[in-house]
Amino acid sequence: MADAAATLTLTLHPAIAEIDAADWDACAGEGNPFLSHGFLSALEDSGSANARTGWLPQHAVLRRDAAIVAVVPMYAKSHSYGEYVFDHGWANALERVGERYYPKLQAAVPFSPVPGPRLLRHPDAAIPVAAMANALEQACQSLSLSSVHLTFCTEQEWVGLGDAGWLRRIGMQFHWQNEGYADFDSFLAALSSRKRKILRRERRDANAAGLTFHALSGSDITERHWDAFYAFYHSTVDRKWGSAYLTRSFFSLLGQRLGDRVVLMYAENAGKPVAGALNLAGDEALYGRNWGCRGDWPFLHFELCYYRAIDWAIEHGLRRVEAGAQGRHKIQRGYMPKPTYSAHWIAHAGLRRAVASFVTEERAGIEAEMAALAEESPFRKGED
């Protein structure tokens, strides 16, 4: 399908393998590993993202003449699981009036609430957001689907899509910001004395349990480590009554294709693995992904997922740590509330009006909640 200027053509692809990795990565850039051809192809080649799991690839490629100028990681979704931006109520509302909500188009990274660009444009191609929005709307209509959703997009995309008539929604995550700290102690020095004591006690107790800790990356991560981590991953899923979308082979492929971008925080007891926290490193951020544990160890979750991540980010000069979705408990550990963004195009006029009203009210509520949570900041306010 071609846009109004007859120079841009959009095609949809049921496998990322159909798109040359160099062309994809030239549009995605190197800053966020979740957007790389390597990460997304590992999901597909391992059987983690496919029709069986409800994530049928429909990757969008925008060409000017024969040259690829933009791509969008996109999926036809038969449900709303694994997205972390909840629209089940929208689906129920449309189905109550006899219309079909699923399948829908989802521009996202499967199973990963990681913010980043979704309209991946080649840096040498000046492609307006409005042109890409129009192309995705046409794709949705040509497939007779209900809607298009860009979740965890950038604020710039969110603004541009809103200007193009899409509905705008915000959410909230908790991120740690590196203010040029020399080490973990210098970060602690920025906290109030009471919070500083709490964090020191948690780290002391976690490190007094007789465990051995490792920060593994690249070739240091072996199949033995992935075997153990996959068991941790399954135990977490089982406890939370979730679905284990990620297959065992995904983790091997991830290590092979992303190399040193993969950072595994790993704990052993007398040489036996007891816990792990999987992270991916970008140019500016360390992204927390999955965690799991065998046994009951004091403050081990905080140590592996939060404090070891801060240590690693400081050592490698990264600007922030993004520790995933939810978690008000992260605030007292230095992870502060930050907005996340999503944009939505809905074909059904009645549902679109109802959702527009809902997201406006929701946005006001989340902004108020973020302001209230900011008052719980553990950082010093001049008292010491």
pLDDT reading at 37 higher than 70: yes
pLDDT at 7: 83
Return d(Cα 28, Cα 68) in angstroms, integer. Answer: 12
**What angle (nearest 5°) sits at the alpha carbon of residue 204, between those of residues 203 and 208?**
115
Kindly report, residue by residue over 82-106, the tens digit of the pLDDT: 899 999 999 999 999 999 999 999 9
- What does CATH list as the number for 8-173+339-374? 3.40.630.30
pLDDT reading at 148 higher than 60: yes
Residue 307 and residue 297: Cα distance in Å, rounded?
Answer: 15
Residue-level pLDDT at 383: 53
Candidates 287, 288, 293; CA nearest to 237 is 293
Match 């496919």 to its residue by tokens. Answer: 50
Whole-number Å distance between alpha carbons of 27 and 372: 38
Alpha-carbon gap, residue 25 to 71, rounded angstroms: 9
Confidence of residue 382 (pLDDT cuts 50, 70, 90): low
Q: Where are the beta strands (DSSP E) in the chain?
A: 8-13, 55-57, 59-64, 67-72, 74-77, 104-107, 120-121, 147-153, 167-177, 212-217, 262-269, 272-281, 285-293, 320-325, 335-346
**Tokens 């399908």 label which residue?**
1
pLDDT-based confidence at residue 237 (cuts at 50, 70, 90): low
Q: What is the mean pLDDT of the chain?
A: 94
pLDDT for 185 equals 97
What was the pLDDT predicted at 328? 87
Helical pair 349-374 and 88-96, crossing angle rounded to 10 deg: 160
Q: What SS3 state is found at 353?
A: helix
pTM, two decimal places:
0.94
Q: What is the pLDDT of residues 243-288, one digit of tens each?
A: 778 999 999 999 999 999 999 999 999 999 999 999 999 999 999 9
Could you report the per-residue pLDDT of 327-347, keeping only the tens digit for each?
A: 889 999 999 999 999 999 999
- Phi then psi for residue 2, to 5 deg, are -110, 150
Q: Are strands 285-293 and 320-325 parallel, antiparallel or unpaired?
A: parallel
226: pLDDT strictly greater than 90: yes
Q: Which residue reads 């107790």 in tokens?
A: 205
Confidence of residue 238 (pLDDT cuts 50, 70, 90): low
341 bridge partner residues: 153, 170
In the chain, residues under CATH classification 3.40.630.30 are 8-173+339-374, 179-318
> Any alpha helices (H) in 104-247, and if so which ranges?
129-142, 155-163, 184-189, 193-207, 223-239
Fold of 179-318: Aminopeptidase (3.40.630)
Q: CB–CB of 136/105 below 8 Å?
A: yes
27-31, 124-128, 172-176, 198-202: least confidently modelled range: 124-128
Statement: residue 358 has pLDDT above 50? yes
* Span 352-365, average pLDDT: 96
Residue 267 CA to residue 295 CA, distance in Å, equals: 11
Least confident of 19-28, 148-157, 228-237: 228-237
Position 1 confidence tier, pLDDT thresholds 50, 70, 90? very low
Q: In what order do the strands lie in the sheet with 262-269?
A: 55-57, 74-77, 104-107, 147-153, 335-346, 167-177, 320-325, 285-293, 272-281, 262-269, 212-217
Mean pLDDT confidence for 145-154: 98
Using alpha carbons, list the distances in angstroms from residue 63 to 41, 71, 164: 21, 9, 21
